[in-house]
Amino acid sequence: MKAYYYDNLPGDQRLPHDSGKAVDTSDLAQVGVLYYRIGELDGVNQLASERGYKNRDEITVSPEKMGDIYKAKVESFFDEHLHEDEEIRYIRDGAGYFDVRNKGDEWIRIQLEKDDLIILPAGIYHRFTTDETNYIQAMRLFKEEPKWTPLNRSDDLDANPYRKEYVTHFLE
């Protein structure tokens, strides 16, 4: 895992966009993002048990696997959004980027690769993209039945109870 401030320069979202200003795991934890490096599935199983994740599935994001919908799907993942559940991803293969907002509403880019696991809290604004290899395979873990409902950022979303709880706990 490598994390840094996003450079905000125009260009392909799948490129690193590294500003040169590093961010460490304690900075990520301040906005509720947890990072683990787990080399064996037993470690994922242990974390899932400790945190109450009962369900899981796997997703492969690539042109080969997704066909014609790949480009539109990756673009939709890159729209800034939040979820009303934690977002837990264990990278099984490939690489990609999660961008999250810090307390100053700046983007932090988190580069993930095989054996990286990230937990984003409910209510955090974020986005995702593959890197320039256009391939990532990830395990998604869920506390309840698998669901993935993105709520795209808007002024109205500030009243969402999950967003309000996130702001109270991490940003105030």
Are 167 and 98 in contact by the 8 Å Cβ rule? The answer is: no
Measured CA distances, 26 to 44, 83, 126 (Å):
21, 22, 18
Question: Which segments are annotated as binding site for Fe(2+)?
Answer: 81, 83, 87, 126
Within 10 angstroms of residue 160's Cβ, the number of other Cβ atoms is: 17
141, amino acid identity: L
Question: Which segments are annotated as binding site?
Answer: 81, 83, 87, 126
Question: Which segments are annotated as binding site for Ni(2+)?
Answer: 81, 83, 87, 126
Distance CA 54, CA 39 (A): 20
Distance spanning both ends of the chain, measured CA to CA:
27
